[in-house]
Amino acid sequence: NPYAGLVSRLRAAWLSGKTRPMGYRVAQLEALGRFLDEKKQDILEATALDLGKPPFEAEFSEVLLCKNELHETLNNLSHWMKDEQVERNLVTRLDSAFIRKDPYGLVLIIAPWNYPVNLLLGPLIGAIAAGNCVLLKPSEMTKNTERLMAEELPGYLDKDCFAVVTAGVQETTRLLENKFDYIFFTGSPSVGRIVMGAAAKHLTPVTLELGGKNPCYVSDACDLRNVARRVAWGRFFNAGQTCVAPDYVLCSLEMRDKLLPALREAIVEFYGSDPKESPDFGRLVGDKQFQRVQALLSSGTVAIGGQTDAETRYIAPTVLVDVQPSDPVMQEEIFGPILPIVTVASVDDAIAFINARERPLALYVFSSDHKVVNRVLERTSSGGFCANDTIMHMTLTSLPFGGVGRC
């Protein structure tokens, strides 16, 4: 196996105990912070080349969120590492009994292309903090960011304990033949099954973050301008290529007719009358993704947007109406700048619609009636829940992140 030597070397480094002391973990985390500071401009340029990411979006989602995670970890590491003393019974009164948080060992992190820095370095922060050695595999879809990570990141971290590999599908398949002690994968459900199958051969524990279709229910009682701006921002940020973006709107027919002009106004406010010329609107990552998302425009009726340009992989911020649950756009995670609106008669119909499908990674509700918000919260299941906003729960390092089932 072409990666056996590298895996063996990293495992030997972990077995040496080098990564366990708190001082070592802090030093590596601080070095990662320096990488984010010193290579910020390179990160902005690489993500702009790969995804057309606007500077604000890239700095916020790729750099700032990582630094927040880093600061939270450094501030709490000493506390997290302490043994947790537990109660003893009569016969063990004179003994010591405690829970110790032990590193897994050698961790493999496989990152996706939509947030190629954040979703590589975010898991790395946790793995370093827990005292592991790590093998990082950036996405091959974002070539410029992949090159930056492979060439620059190892210069900041201990090369004995941390390594970056560049690999396509065939090479990653060979990489997964090796035994790891933990695998952290972010990507599609189809590839997630492959990763889980490979891990099962070694009984390796895995974390799979696989995305999904995130509903957004808009009740008749709401602040229309706020709804339009926050839904548009959440949906069209990173050209819709966000795993927690609102994937579709559920609302009454009356609310749909009010929401459409408000969404149109918000899109113009954010991206101008021609979003193709806007410096604040990104592009799809590759031709295959462009063709897949473009094909979804045939669902329902285009009410806003719909323009495309294959040469630049541009798809305009688009809103679809007259969408049926059986339409292609409702059968898969969109992962592009398209927002379907599906009409429902009531909040109970919306809840039934949501519960008839896979449990989402995120669920959004807009209502000025807290009873409506609580009703949806109590009667649905999702990885994350956000009322009267979108995506913002992701900015809280104090909240856990994860999905339910296929997410």
Give the residue among 235, 223, 218 at the shortest CA–CA distance from 319.
Answer: 235
> Could you confirm whether 177 is annotated as catalytic?
no
Q: Are 350 and 376 in contact (CB under 8 A)?
A: yes
Q: Are 374 and 387 in contact (CB under 8 A)?
A: no
Supply 4's token pair: 């056996």
Phi and psi of 302, rounded to 5°? -75, 120
d(C-alpha 114, C-alpha 284), whole Å: 9
- Catalytic annotation, pick one of 57, 69, 209, 333: 209
Instruction: Please report the DSSP string for 9-47 in residue order.
Output: HHHHHHHTTTT-SHHHHHHHHHHHHHHHHHTHHHHHHHH
Q: Is the dihedral of CA 173, 175, 180, 183 positive or negative?
A: negative
Residue 39's Cβ-count burial label (10 Å; 0-12, 13-18, 19+) is buried
Q: Is the dihedral of CA 162, 167, 169, 175 positive or negative?
A: negative
Give the number of C-alpha atoms closer than 13 A to the C-alpha of residue 77, restricted to the C-beta side.
Answer: 24
CA distances, 399 to each of 264, 307, 385 (Å): 33, 38, 11
> Could you confirm whether 243 is annotated as catalytic?
yes
Q: Which amino acid is at 48?
A: A
Residue showing tokens 């895995």? 206
Q: Which amino acid is at 71?
A: H
CA distances, 132 to each of 105, 120, 122, 135, 281 (Å): 5, 15, 14, 10, 38
Give the residue among 119, 37, 40, 58 at the shortest CA–CA distance from 280.
Answer: 58
Write out the H or E segment, with its range, that includes residue 170.
helix 169-175
- Catalytic annotation, pick one of 216, 243, 251, 386: 243
Radius of gyration in angstroms for the set of CA atoms belonging to the chain, rounded to a whole number: 23
Q: Which residues are catalytic?
A: 209, 243
